[in-house]
Amino acid sequence: MNRKTIDTILAITILMAVLPVYAQAADDYFVYANWNPGVSYTTGVNGYVDDNGNLGDPGEEYLFFTGGPSYGGAHTAYAYKVETAGDPNTHPDNPNNTGPKAPRTFTLVNSHAMGTYASGHDNAFYVDDTGIYYGASDNAHGVSGWGTVKGGGIFCWDFDWTNETCVVPTPAPAGTQTLARNPKTGDWWVGTASRALYRWDGSAWIYQFTHPSLAGSHHDGMEIIGDSLFISDMTSDKIIQYRLNASGDVIDPPGTPYNTFTYTAGPVVEGMGFGPNRHIWISGYSSYTIYELGGGKLQLELEGIPDQCVPAGEIFDTFDLDDYAADPGAVDHYGYSGNTDLTVTIDGDNNVTITYPVGWTGNETTVFAAYNNTGGVIDSDDATFTVDPAPVVGDIPNQTAPFEEFDLDDYLSGIDPSMVAWSATYPGVDWTVDIDGDNVVTVTAPENATETRTITFTATATCCGGVVSDCDSAAFEQKPPAAAVPTVSPIGTALLIGLLSILAVGRIRRRFD
């Protein structure tokens, strides 16, 4: 190889070493469910967490959406209960909570014929404890039989679809696609296909601002969650966030949202809601599906100050209140209330530490408030901190055969024994270990065994939505039979004594000779 070839290879090697490596950005959120309810053209979705039992048991979670023709015509509203068997944020690609997705179950609760309301292309649901709301299209497309009876606006029903009431009589601006409500101020918002946003001031729809294009063909998703406005175009590969102040006004400039979240999938959007699993739900229109988005960076903004649960003996994560304030620059100081047994500490950097007394289990909800320099509350959020009992297994003593039965609950602390399942490791061929219904253990060794076996006993319980356990090991020794002691016959003993006597006499005689 000549010098020129060597120099060329060296130059290529150096060039390859300094070229930057471009990797695809990690997703900011993930798809947790993609569910087909078996109806045409799903639109207008919103979620509802039923804290007061208006539809069923308190705490159950629901989805409301419409299905029907692609445009115009009569649509039907559906309400489904959503149940999730496990941690709703676990996802194979979620770096903050990696694992298999928990199964979701969807159960139809009721349905309602919406008549000639405009389709979910131009309307959406909003549901809270005061009722079911739907609106606010003006039937801008002029489709025959589409919105001709109601004429636009926002309407409300009780949870059994009775007592229909018009709550906003004025149709939204032409081209309206979405509906949202600020749960703190009660303000109604709508968005048009051209991405212009409007807010109802009690008598008119007032223009607020126009958000940037998010690569979809038009605006088609909007929801107010906590202190923020979340927006999507007709594809869900981007979701932007604007912060709202205590008056409900947008803090961030229209062209520079507070956050832009992205992911690699891009199903179509015909309505966006929030509720079950504290996730965003999308009605997928022509896919006939409802899909669930959350986790990752997006989830941190959706949840506000997150609830925490730890097994007894472990510590809560610290967190920075500035990360959850709508406008940290306007905050003079923070305060808290609602705790009794928990100790709350806020340091000079607004980091929060939560501690609990030794041996304490239970939960408390603490309210954190942000104050301005005049002492006024400008923002607040609450979080529930739970300490679940967890099993602690003490020292189970070793045994030497014959083995005695023992009660595992005698070595358990930290939790009610009825909440624990005990198990034991396999002791080996022909050995048995039996744990009866009262957690009493019997260990049996095979006949003629001459070894020691170590058995680990594990106490397992459900804690913080997962499984926790503790264990201890004990050695069980089976010794070989003791060697037989030889017996001496009486005759042999007499002969031995006689022999000793003769020897003794002989020694005496020699001494006197």
Quickly name the fold that domain 30-303 has. Answer: Neuraminidase (2.120.10)
Instruction: Calculate mean pLDDT across residues 178-185.
Output: 94
pLDDT higher than 50, residue 336 = yes
Taking a C-beta distance cutoff of 8 angstroms, is the pair 242, 200 a contact?
Answer: no
Residue with tokens 């509203």: 77
Binned at pLDDT 50, 70 and 90, residue 178 comes out as: very high
Nearest by Cα to 446 from 427, 430, 433, 429? 430
Binned at pLDDT 50, 70 and 90, residue 117 comes out as: low
List the chain domain ranges: 30-303, 308-388, 392-477
Residue 176 backbone phi and psi in degrees, to 5: -60, 140
- Shared fold status for 308-388 and 392-477: yes
In terms of CATH architecture, what is 392-477? Sandwich (2.60)
pLDDT higher than 60, residue 148 = no
Binned at pLDDT 50, 70 and 90, residue 118 comes out as: low
pLDDT higher than 60, residue 306 = yes
Q: Considering the chain, what is the average pLDDT of its residues?
A: 86
Q: What is the pTM (predicted TM-score) of this model?
A: 0.68
Binned at pLDDT 50, 70 and 90, residue 443 comes out as: very high
Instruction: Calculate mean pLDDT across residues 184-197.
Output: 95
Binned at pLDDT 50, 70 and 90, residue 72 comes out as: low
pLDDT of amino acid 490: 55
pLDDT higher than 50, residue 495 = no
Residue-wise pLDDT for 219-266, tens only, equals 999 999 988 999 999 887 899 999 998 899 999 999 999 999 999 877
The CA distance from 4 to 505, in Å, is 115
Per CATH, domain 308-388 is 2.60.40.10: yes
pLDDT of amino acid 265: 76
The CA distance from 270 to 493, in Å, is 109
The CA distance from 221 to 198, in Å, is 14
pLDDT of amino acid 25: 56
The CA distance from 435 to 437, in Å, is 7
pLDDT higher than 50, residue 149 = no
| Other CB atoms within 10 A of residue 209 CB | 14
Q: What is the CA radius of gyration of the chain?
A: 37
The CA distance from 424 to 456, in Å, is 6
Binned at pLDDT 50, 70 and 90, residue 187 comes out as: very high
DSSP-derived secondary structure letter, 499: H
The CA distance from 1 to 8, in Å, is 11
End-to-end CA distance of the chain: 114
Tell me the three state secondary structure of residue 188: strand
DSSP-derived secondary structure letter, 438: T
